[in-house]
Every structure is written in structure tokens, then in C-alpha cells.
Amino acid sequence: MNIKERFEGVGFTPEEKLDLTARLERAAEQEENMTSATKRKIKRISGGMVFGVAAAVVMTAGALAAVLNPGLRGWFDTQTYGTQEKLEQGIYRLDRSQTCNGWTVTLGECVGDDHGVYVWGDVAAPEGTVLAPISEDGRLSAVCWMEGQTGQLGSMGAWFMDHDPTDNHVSVLIMPYMTWGENPRGETVTLHLGPITDEWDTHDPETGEREWHTEGSELTAAIRDHEWVFEDVTLDFPDQTIRMKPNAEVPWLGGTTTVTNLEVSPLGTYVELEGGSCGEYVAYTNTKPVHEGGETTELGGLTITFGGSDGGWEDRRREMVSGITLELTLRDGTQVLPGNLAASTSDYKEGLEGPETPYYFFGRKYDGNNGLNPISVLDPAQVDHVTVCGVDIPLSGQKESGSAAPEKAEEPAAPAVGTVTAGKGLNIRSGPGTRFQVLTAVPRGTRLEVLGEESDFYRVNFSEGRTGYASKSYITVK
């Protein structure tokens, strides 16, 4: 029995059956050529399902399309408890399209916080065009930026992904490298994208020489000089950030400074330091690097020196920044170490020490891969405390700005005790479902303190204050 025949008796229209059949057959053909990263994304989005008949009979056309082109839901890592729901709540639909010479660019959806925004879109070439890479080292490329009401919001990057190399569509993720100035949330902006061109690498096996071509081929000739400008785009994504003014003193650079502002959003943690040893950092960054030798040229009113730097200035600056440590501890005991810099700025302002208070503001995403791979999403409500330079700052009891705090699991009046009845032991997970990470496993007969319940899972204390979730089916509570 083939895939099409398996659809008989399933509640799809004839058109949906044909479309699902084609998509599944294409997906099966592509699976061998998929990168490991792509397979991991598909597995994450589909909740562990694999392509095939079993998946087809339980998926709607819309659900299958989300697996093959998952959008923002496939880009972000949502493995920890509550993060998938948090991402869903934060996505805002844009639904803006433009067409030029048979090509269509669509802005589909966005998600962000006070310091950056991610926009997911689609690029469709004329029917019959195959937007597969020109070679193994080929790609589409475009410059992009956003303008707010008072100026440019920050530098942006466009990354093109081809979920189906046999069709005329590619996805595009427009994401921030760094943002400053205006808060993008709620802003009405103009988004510039393009021109879109193709680039590729050639290799001469005889000489070993490689050459990167950026001039574009006939593939993108029709739009090579076209800039896609989307005006009046409102970035009305929800506010999901917890904000605090802890005024906590922390050690840095042999002295101390004060954490005056702390923000935890689903996409990053942002800290502002003021006064004290911030002065050393700001003063140092305002000095000029020492150059020995090299060539100096004037460009646009700037004096630029090429070569000859001793490298010491930048090394010292990195050393000073690396002295700032940032860790998050979730309520279940999991530690998150944000590593990828999302935003950074330093200067003087009126603050703790008057009108000339030195400050340093920095933000970090929940990964350490320089933004080239999907970053993790975090539910701020699950953060117990943030540790800045070794000092713990509690978040327990804080609420998100602009919304009510998430509903907590129902807590019993007094902790009950349950006994594990599973024959081969029981997994303790980070959230109430089998898709959540396994924190540990406990053997049959283990007694667990039951703190609450969510759907078919108990929230339990399994190790000196560490909490997790275990299936109710394998715990007897007395």
C-alpha cells in the first residue's frame, strides 16, 4: 500500500491528500541529504515524529507544512519546561508581501524583546525556478537594516535556509547582531532587504586556488538591483520581560560596581552596571589603541591605521569584559550560562555617582555559538536567581512587565509523599511531558515529596531541593 492509499478514510480533502502525499514523498527523498542540524530541527518541531505513514495520518496539512518549513518555531531551541508555550505567546504575525519581476518576498512573523527582534520570512522565485545552491558552497545573500522613528535600530543579518531544494522557495531569517537606541517592541519601522543575490565558491583542483564570487548569476539577475522596502511595519510582539532594579554591589576589575538594572526575557538577559570599577573600563575603552608601524589613511573623516598594532589594547579590553560572569539558575536547579553577546555599550551618564557616572550595559543570549545556530528560549518565570560576578540576585516572585504572572501549578496545602511503582525506575523530567529533558532517574520504591501536579505529571522534590516532573501513573501517593 503506497502513501496515497494510506490517506483513504482520513478526513482530508482530495486536494489536501495530494499535497500531503507530495510533501511526504519529497521529505523522504530529502532525508538522506539532510544535515544533522536540519534533522534535529525537524525532530524538535515534530515532537519526535519521523516522516512516514504513521506521521501522515495524524498531521494536518498546516502541521506538516510547519515541520517542512517550521518558521521561528524551528529556529529556536525550546527544550526546557515552558519555553515552547513562551515562544508561541511571543510570536507576532506581520503578513506583509512584495513582488518584483516574478519574485515575492513575504514577512511572516516576528518575536523579540527590548533589545532585538527576529523576523521570519519567505522568498519565492518565479514558478519553475529551483533555488538550490549553485554549488556545495553556494548561498543567497542580502544586506538588511531597520529604521525606526528616530533613526536606525541597529545592524541586522539575513540568513537564507532552503527546507526543500526542489521548489522555488527559501526561508529568510532577519536577525539582530546588535541593537541600540530605540526599543524595537511596539515600534513602527521601515525594513530594508536586499538586493538579493547569489554567491558561490569555486575551486581549481590543479592549483588549489579558491575564489568567492559575489557578482550573482542569471538566477537572481531579475532582482539584482531591487531593494525590498517594507514601510510601516509594526513590531507589536508581546512584552515578556521581567525587570528589576536590584542595586546589588558586585566585584569587578579589582573593585566593585553596582547592578542597577536587570532584565530577563525569553531571548536574553541584560545587565547594567554603574559606578565604581566601571570607571576603569569606560576610561580604558575611550583611549586609542597603540599602533606601531602600519599605514594610515583618511576615509570619510576618519583616520584608519592598517597593520602594526601591538594587539595589547584589544586583548586588555577583552580581559576586562571576560571578568563579568553571568549565570541563571532555574527553579528545578538547572543552570543556564548565557554566552553569546547580544548588545553592549558603555559611557558616562547621570546615575549613582552624579552626572558623570560611568556605566556598562551588556546583554547575552542563551547560547555560546555567536548566533550562527538556533539560540535557546527561556521562560523567565522559571528563573530562581541570576548570578552576576558571583552575587546571587533572586527573581522569585517577580512578574513579567505588561502581563500577569504565569499560572503556577496547584500546590497542595502540605507536601504529600509518593512512592515510585515503575518496575525499571522512573524518569524525572524538567517539565510535565515526555518531550522535556530527563534530569535523572530514580529506582522503584523511591519516596518522593509531591509539591503539586500539572496534567498527568506530579512536580516532585527529588534531591535536596531540586524539583522536576514525574508521571503520575507510576507514583502512588498516600
- Domains with residue ranges and CATH for the chain: 3-68 (no CATH), 92-234 (2.60.40), 242-394 (no CATH), 416-477 (2.30.30.40)
The amino acid present at 351, given as its one-letter code, is G
Q: Are strands 447-454 and 383-388 parallel, antiparallel or unpaired?
A: unpaired
For residue 347, which phi and psi values (nearest 5 degrees)?
Answer: 180, -165
CA distance 470 to 332: 13
| Average pLDDT value for residue range 384-397 | 91
Burial class of residue 96, CB neighbours in 10 A (0-12, 13-18, 19+): middle
CA distance 343 to 321: 13
Packed helices 36-45 and 61-68: angle between N→C axes, nearest 10 degrees = 150
Q: How many CB atoms lie within 10 A of CB 404?
A: 7
Range with lowest mean pLDDT among 113-117, 227-231, 251-255, 370-374:
370-374
Residues in the chain: 478
C-alpha cell at 362: 551588556
Q: What is the pLDDT of residues 427-445, one digit of tens each?
A: 888 777 776 677 888 888 8
Contact predicate 269/364, CB 8 Å:
yes
Helix (H, G, I), strand (E, B) or coil at 190: strand
Q: Residue 159: CA atoms inside 13 Å, Cβ hemisphere, count?
A: 16
pLDDT band at 279 (very low <50, low <70, confident <90, very high): very high
What's the mean pLDDT when you consider all of the chain?
A: 77
Task: Say what the pLDDT of residue 397 is.
Answer: 64
| Nearest one of 408, 465, 463, 459 to 441, comparing CA atoms | 463
Looking at the chain, the number of H-run helices and the number of E-run strands are 9, 30
CA distance 463 to 468: 10
The amino acid present at 299, given as its one-letter code, is L
Look at the block and give the residue holding cell 498527568: 456
Q: What angle do CA 424, 427, 432 make, to 5 degrees?
A: 140
Look at the block and give the residue holding cell 498531521: 59
Task: Say what the pLDDT of residue 400 is.
Answer: 66
Q: What is the pLDDT of residues 133-180, one digit of tens each?
A: 555 577 888 988 888 766 666 667 888 888 777 889 999 998 875 555
Q: What is the pLDDT of residues 280-303, one digit of tens each?
A: 999 998 887 765 555 666 665 666
Most confident range, picked from 12-21, 87-96, 213-222: 87-96
C-alpha cell at 167: 521548489
CA distance 245 to 259: 8
Q: How many CB atoms lie within 10 A of CB 299?
A: 7
Residues 6+ apart with CB under 8 A from 297: 303, 304, 306
Burial class of residue 201, CB neighbours in 10 A (0-12, 13-18, 19+): middle
The amino acid present at 23, given as its one-letter code, is R
Residues 6+ apart with CB under 8 A from 452: 408, 409, 410, 411, 412, 458, 459
Task: Say what the pLDDT of residue 78 is.
Answer: 77
Residue 7 has pLDDT above 50, yes or no: no
CA distance 259 to 363: 13
CA distance 320 to 152: 29
Output the CA torsion 79→84→85→86 (10° steps). 90
Look at the block and give the residue holding cell 500539572: 454
Q: What is the pLDDT of residues 9-49, one digit of tens each?
A: 444 455 444 555 555 554 444 444 444 444 443 333 333 33
CA distance 420 to 415: 16
The amino acid present at 115, given as its one-letter code, is H
Q: Residue 329: CA atoms inside 13 Å, Cβ hemisphere, count?
A: 15
Task: Say what the pLDDT of residue 97 is.
Answer: 96
Packed helices 312-322 and 278-285: angle between N→C axes, nearest 10 degrees = 150
For 404-423, give the DSSP string: PPPPPPBPPSS-EEEEE--T
Distances (CA, A) of 162 to 70, 167, 177: 12, 9, 22
Q: How many CB atoms lie within 10 A of CB 461?
A: 15
Residues 6+ apart with CB under 8 A from 219: 125, 129, 131, 134, 198
For residue 112, which phi and psi values (nearest 5 degrees)?
Answer: -175, -170
Q: Select the more confidently predicted residue: 75 or 303.
A: 75
Question: Where on the phi/psi map is residue 378: left (φ > 0), alpha (ψ -120 to 50), or beta?
Answer: beta
Q: Are strands 210-213 and 197-203 parallel, antiparallel or unpaired?
A: antiparallel
Task: Say what the pLDDT of residue 62 is.
Answer: 34
C-alpha cell at 62: 498546516
